[in-house]
Amino acid sequence: MPAIYLHHLTVQPEEIDGLGHVNNVCYVSWMQDAAVAHSSAQGWTPQRYHAAGHGWVARSHFIEYRSPAFEGDGIVVRTWVADFQRVSSVRKFEILRAKDEALLARAETNWAFVRFADGRLMRVPTEVAEAFEVVAGPVRRPGGETASGD
């Protein structure tokens, strides 16, 4: 599987806010959906995490909005794992409009690895970390432009 995962979606009418563009909270939902899809593509589905009794919870999100998205727009969420620490991982995102590859938002989530039974932090198991390629440093977008991977 590629280190940089592409998650495709189309902006739905219910995602539009009173200003006529995508509501900011939808971006967080798109980020989570892309992260779960990437993890699933790497063999770590939600069911596998639950069967193992551990998995990821979000600690923090950072989103820099660059340009609005509108109903019917095709969207590509590019996501990659930027690092693994003992009990956490940073995942980065670029949210692009598909038709012109315009950068709509740049974001990252700091994930913590927890035991589901008690919610306590635990070391990221080797088999989880080894399922993902860490992409550090600058990341090239499809048009050749460099995105910040750090």
Question: pTM of the full predicted structure?
Answer: 0.90
Encode pLDDT of 37-74 as tens digits: 999 999 999 999 999 999 999 999 999 999 999 999 99
Q: Per-domain residue ranges for the chain?
A: 5-139
State the average pLDDT for the chain.
93
In 3D space, the residue among 140, 76, 77 whose CA is nearest the CA of residue 109 turns out to be 77
- Cβ distance 15 to 30 under 8 Å? no
CATH of the domain spanning 5-139 = 3.10.129.10
User: Quick one: average pLDDT of 7-19?
Assistant: 98
Whether 135 has a pLDDT exceeding 50, the answer reads yes
In 3D space, the residue among 128, 107, 120 whose CA is nearest the CA of residue 24 turns out to be 107
One-character DSSP codes across 84-104: E-SSEEEEEEEEEETTT--EE
| 15 DSSP 8-state letter | G
- Cβ distance 77 to 31 under 8 Å? yes
Sign of CA dihedral 18, 20, 25, 30: positive
In 3D space, the residue among 122, 130, 132 whose CA is nearest the CA of residue 52 turns out to be 122
Encode pLDDT of 19-36 as tens digits: 999 999 999 999 999 999
User: Quick one: average pLDDT of 5-29?
Assistant: 97
One-character DSSP codes across 23-78: -HHHHHHHHHHHHHHHHHHTT--HHHHHHHTEEEEEEEEEEEE-S---TT-EEEEE
Strand bridging mode 103-115 / 88-97 = antiparallel
